[in-house]
Amino acid sequence: MGHVLFVTSSLFGGRSRSEGLAREFLARYPHASLTRRELDPAATPHLDGETLAALGTPESERTEHQRAKVAFADALIEELEAADTIVLAVPMYNFSIPSTLKAWIDHIARAGRTFRYTAAGPEGLLKGKKVFVVTARGGLYAGDGPHHAYDFQEPYLRTLLGFLGLDDVTFLHLEGLNISPDAAAQGLVRARAALASIVPQQEAA
């Protein structure tokens, strides 16, 4: 059993459906320790020009303000590097991901640290880790769902995570939440069945 990094990004905190299902997943998934990173808008700054300038400045020449900017991004990357498994709880907002999760991605995607460019092309450096992405969606987008073409969430995350070397990725979708109460209930049944197939109860810690 290893160390899990649990990243949440919903605006609804403890009422989040994606986080709720992710917690059910974690209750069954064997792990020795867990770090939680809550991507709260007030505590997750978007990448800005100052941060980019700080990252491009040699460490010995950075101001205290620049060191603080870089230290935040470094802490996020260190959490990733220390994890054996990464669990992302991701609601769908406007067919894609929350802006705070995009901000997190912008901070962790760093050339020379989490990926590098080689003569053969880019190479992800966060290898050998498992990733589980637990989503919550108002409509039906997975598989041959009627709005599959509107899903800019899973394709983007698969591409980005793969770019960083995270290519062992499993998605668990909770869908139909805004269609009707019956559709939401059916979506939860389907999601829990998928969860049980991913992590059978007998394997729980």
d(CA 29, CA 203): 7
Q: What is the pTM of this model?
A: 0.93
- The mean per-residue pLDDT over the stretch 45-54 comes to 90
pLDDT in tens, 72-86: 999 999 999 999 999
- Start-to-end CA span in the chain (Å): 9
Sole residue written with tokens 């991507």: 39
Phi/psi of residue 2, each to 5°? Answer: -120, -160
| Contacts with 118 (C-beta within 8 Å, 6 or more apart), sequence order | none
Check pLDDT > 50 for residue 205.
no
d(CA 33, CA 2): 7
Paired tokens of 62: 């950075």
Paired tokens of 79: 């959490």
121-124 and 115-118 strand pairing: antiparallel
- Encoded amino acid at 10, one letter: S
Ordered by where they begin, the domains of the chain are 3-203 (3.40.50.360)
pLDDT in tens, 93-152: 999 999 999 999 999 999 999 999 999 999 999 999 999 999 999 999 998 878 999 999
Paired tokens of 151: 């899903």
Handedness of CA 184, 190, 192, 198 (dihedral sign): negative
d(CA 140, CA 137): 7
DSSP 3-state percent helix, strand, coil across the chain (nearest 5): 45, 20, 35
28 burial level (CB within 10 Å; 0-12, 13-18, 19+):
middle
